[in-house]
Amino acid sequence: MKRPTGDVAKLAIYFISAFLLAALMTPWLWNAGKFLGEFTAGGSGNDLLDSIGASARKADFPTYFKRALLLSGVLLLIPLISALKLGKRVPPLANSPWSIFLPRHTVARAGGQPLRNPRNGWIHLVTGFLLAGGLLFIMGLILIALGWFSWRDGIDWAKSCQNAVGPAIGASLVEEIVFRGMLLGIFLRTFRPAWAIVLLSVLFSLLHFLQPPDELQVSDPESALAGFEMLKLLGLRLLDPIPFINEFFTLAVVGLILAYARYATSSLWLPLGLHAGWVFAFKLYSST
């Protein structure tokens, strides 16, 4: 295994900076959002503004932290991309680690694993979706048959499926392109395949685990240090064995499966299908 310098070190700085910037920004976003919510409470005459204001009124501090973290990640993305350039000359798109959909027999950048666009990629996609979604759905039926859970009254299956489609497509596309498409390619240039897959899966789980749940609240949301208090609370969650086992470990296993699927097939089609299937089944059960 090579020393974890270069690209991986830059990624570590990027993620740490994003959380610190989010901690600074969250109280400002909180106050701005609540002001907008009060301003539009009686109606402003603009439907879009009123809709945003209504959302701002309902959102709690953890939600504002998540939005600040997303905004921080976007703001720091440009310097990250600039820092990840390996030389003064920019490689062609077809040879770049940022190229996701590649022609057949065309690989990403040398030094990592080739990322291909196989002819039967859609078969990988459908197979992954049916396998992951089907197994999770069957497990849910077993738990219901055992009496551990029960269906809600008056289930609208059409609406439940419709509500599950959007998150399944959106989450799988974004997270697979970012984690298994770009980040795994970067890790494979620094670590051996087994280490790259394990470390990326830990990072995948950690970033999801550090998304604050709604019940995690700070003492004074208007304080300038409220965002750093949220960081402290998130850090304390890592020391609690119950959430660690229930969430962190489970997400790490999911990350291992998705990363290995990408590595084994040299493409994103299978992990995309697996990810979409899991999210679809999970959202379907959440609404029923």
Write the pLDDT tens digit of every residue in 159-172: 888 888 888 898 89
Residue 189: pLDDT over 70: yes
Whose structure tokens read 């402290």? Answer: 232
Separation CA 154–CA 288 (nearest Å) = 9
* Beta pairing partners, 112: 110
The model's pTM is: 0.72
User: Residue 85: pLDDT band by 50, 70, 90 thresholds?
Assistant: low
H-only helix segments in the chain:
7-39, 47-58, 61-75, 77-83, 121-145, 157-175, 184-188, 193-209, 226-237, 241-243, 250-265, 269-286
Mean pLDDT of the chain: 81
pLDDT of residue 113: 64
Residue 181: pLDDT over 90: no
H-only helix segments in 210-268:
226-237, 241-243, 250-265
CB 262 within 8 A of CB 179: no
* Beta pairing partners, 110: 112
pLDDT of residue 215: 77
CB 226 within 8 A of CB 31: no
Residue 258: pLDDT over 90: yes
Residue 124: pLDDT over 70: yes
CB 118 within 8 A of CB 269: yes
Residue 25: pLDDT over 90: yes
Residues of the chain with pLDDT > 70: what percent? Answer: 86
Mean pLDDT of 155-160: 78
Mean pLDDT of 63-67: 88
Count other C-beta atoms under 10 Å from residue 122's C-beta.
11
How far apart are the two ends of the chain, measured CA to CA in Å? 47
Token pair recorded at residue 286: 């959440």
Separation CA 137–CA 142 (nearest Å) = 9
Among 205, 202, 227, CA closest to 217: 227
Single-letter amino acid code for the residue at 224:
A
**Range of weakest confidence among 27-31, 80-84, 108-112:** 108-112
pLDDT of residue 252: 92
CB 62 within 8 A of CB 230: yes
- Name the more confident of 85 and 149: 149
pLDDT of residue 183: 84
Residues of the chain with pLDDT > 90: what percent? Answer: 26
